[in-house]
Amino acid sequence: MRLFTLTRLVTAEGRGAAGRLVGMAGGIAVGVALLLLLLGAYGGITSRSERLSWPDLHHGELTQVPDPAAAAPTAGSVLAATSLEHFDGREIVRVDIVATPDSTVVVPGVGQPPAAGTYHASPALTALIEANPTDILGSRYGTRAGSIDEAGLAGPDSLVVVTGTTTENLRSSGYGRAGSVLLGGGAWSVTEFRGVSYPSSNYRTITIIGAIAILLPVLILVGIVTRLGAATRAERFAALRLIGATPRRVAAIAATETGVTSLVGALAGVALAWLLIPVAALVEIDDGRLFRTDLTVPPSTVLIVVASVVAGCTAVAGWRTSRARIGPLGGSRERTERRPTALGIVPLIAGVVVLLGATTAALRHTPLPHTDRILIAGFVLLLVGLMAAGPVLTYWIARIAARGAHRTAGVIAMNRIQQHPRATFRAVSGLVAAIFLVSVFSAGITTVAEESLTEDSAHLSPTTLIASLSSPPDDASAAASGITAVTAAASRIARTDGVTATAIGYSHPESGSVFTAADAALVGLPTPEGASHIQVTGGFFGDGPLVTRPAATPDPRPGILVVATDGTTHSVERARTAILGSKLDLSSPPRTQADHESARLHTWADRYANLGHLGVLVATLISAVSLAVSSIAAILDRKRVLGLLRLMGMPASTVRRVIVAEAALPLATVFALCVGLGILTAWCLIAGLTEGRRTITWLPPSYYLILATSLALAATAVISTFRTARTSTTIEATRIG
């Protein structure tokens, strides 16, 4: 008889066979779908970073231009400068370009550089411009000439504008940061715009660790569902052995069944991943969503994943069946596992040592070479070590608990755990990994800084704009004309709708800025009584209280422009647009205190908080499914033993208590260890990557709610197996071989 025909007769016929095969295929489908989405996201984040970082001109082929007005573009080069603007709390990346009509320089997402007075905007920014009056946003950039396509945008939410300008109007602003990308820092002669795969090693490290952390529960799920099929095949395989089938033939049948089932599941997983791409694209990473194309993996990768899953599942199924030594009289009785040794704890200890060693060196400001790679290796060692140490710790605790067990359920459960510590721990390994990963993610997220704006008499209003002015030339006549231009611009800006006052701050010979007392009072600066001029030191943007003191006549060099508004969003943005269109020589775009706080707090750790929340969700849900499937598989594996106990008079309630005890003991054994190691790992990663500049804080109440939810899901998963235990251990279902 042909192998496939025999396999169908042996495995696909009979009570419960369809449900078992559907369960296997469904679990593999979920695992493959998540794996493909994970691979797509990993590759998508890399390409996204390249599209995100091209405005950071430091990565391209370029030369800095000290005096843009004296430079000129060529056919093979353009003059460019980047800056960070704001609109209603959102960041806009602006790239100003001076190019010749025959320029051959390619701007990502645009193509040929725009002509002077025109601009190309991202679709999200275009929609924002069209939704607001021209004097609030649109007039900042000129005439719209086109859109920026996906090649020049991090995601569909990106606010990016590329403007064409002249050498006289090229903005040479100071440094700024948009997320993980450094912007500004002068004007440059650029021959090629180029992005980078990762703006920093920290960015890459967090991405890799997040991918590994989400991948582990997926692999655990795939491994567990393949065991679900192996549990109920022993009796049919025994019948084959009875009629003369060789062990090799039986192993081939098991491999064929698992191979076909895993192939169906893998193909279904490919379809499921394709259907989930629009949903996954809604997840925000680094302050924006991914394009759907970012989550799409190449066909070659899909084929490799499907082939690897099918080949792996097939090989494991054949190997397990050959090791089971199924004889003509039935599956061999449960064999006691080899006792786990203390060597299983070595990887766990090694992982802790590696993480602590790298972190300690970083805190002492003597970081080890390739600290990021060492931390990744330590994380993997710790993760693998936790899975390896689980059976060892479970065995030790079971031995201790067995001495004090007096009730039937406790005696049976503790003794079986001693005989099968690996199988027992394997059943809860998904939940153990989830608790560890949830602790890592939740603790890591606490590094996100949460600060509120300061509003009191010692700080400027959050709706007051600050614009830093470039230093005037040393030439006396040029400096005088510059002062006149600043004064005239301030007067025009003061007449803008919604602007209540303007004040020019002049450079102080020592530090700070000097304002006239009258102007200072109008814009809300604290003014000492009787002073004609005041010196202002401290943080204009809430970094500290403003300190004012009487001052003499200021140095005649304007250094800062303060613009107070009536507080409405339209007034703030209208004033900002007026400043940007005033032809003032700005060293940085106008900002409010709220803009400053937003840019300062949005670091790589803050922007990856959504990945942490996603990791928590994936790990928790997969762990619950894994626990339910593994518990059902364990019951099916032992239905003969449990059925015999029922025949001897054991109540079904005792069987349920045995199941609960076998799930609870390994979990209770490593619960505190998982929580502690998760928090330690998060601290090592954050402190080690930043050399102590950032750390973790107390975990929020939501963490304990997540833990409680995980345990509740685990309890639900175990309770859901009671029905299987009841139906599989009835007198009718029990067969004595």
Q: Supply the DSSP symbol for 111.
A: B
Q: How far apart are CA 583 and CA 168, in angstroms?
A: 10
In residues, how long is the chain? 737
Count Cβ atoms below 10 Å from residue 389 Cβ, excluding itself: 25
CA 463 to chain CA centroid, nearest Å: 32
322-329 LR contacts (CB < 8 Å, sep 24+):
322/247, 322/248, 322/251, 324/234, 325/247, 326/234, 326/237, 326/238, 326/241, 326/247, 326/250, 327/238, 327/241, 328/238, 328/241, 328/242, 329/238, 329/242, 329/737
In degrees and rounded to multiples of 5, residue 2 shows phi and psi of -65, 155
The owner of tokens 């007067």 is 491
User: Which pLDDT does position 38 carry in this prediction?
Assistant: 81
Q: What is the pLDDT of residues 364-385, one digit of tens each?
A: 888 888 888 899 999 999 989 9
Q: Token digits for 367?
A: 């970081």
Q: Which residues pair with 586 in a beta bridge?
A: 469
Query: Contact, 189 vs 100, CB < 8 A?
Result: no
CA 455 to chain CA centroid, nearest Å: 33
DSSP output for 412-468? HHHHHHHH-HHHHHHHHHHHHHHHHHHHHHHHHHTTS-------STTS--TT-EEEE
Q: For Cα atoms 471, 184, 568, give the angle at the middle one, nearest 5 degrees.
A: 85
Query: Contact, 612 vs 286, CB < 8 A?
Result: no
User: Which pLDDT does position 534 carry in this prediction?
Assistant: 84
Query: Contact, 600 vs 504, CB < 8 A?
Result: no
User: Which pLDDT does position 89 carry in this prediction?
Assistant: 80
Report CA torsion sign: 615, 617, 618, 622: positive
Residues with pLDDT less than 70, the chain? 1-20, 60-61, 172-185, 199-201, 227-245, 247, 285-287, 323-336, 448-459, 472-479, 538-545, 554-555, 597-616, 631-649, 717, 720-721, 723-737
Q: Token digits for 675?
A: 């929580």
Q: Token digits for 267?
A: 């193909």
| Distance, first Cα to last Cα, the chain | 26
Q: How far apart are CA 199 and CA 158, in angstroms?
A: 17
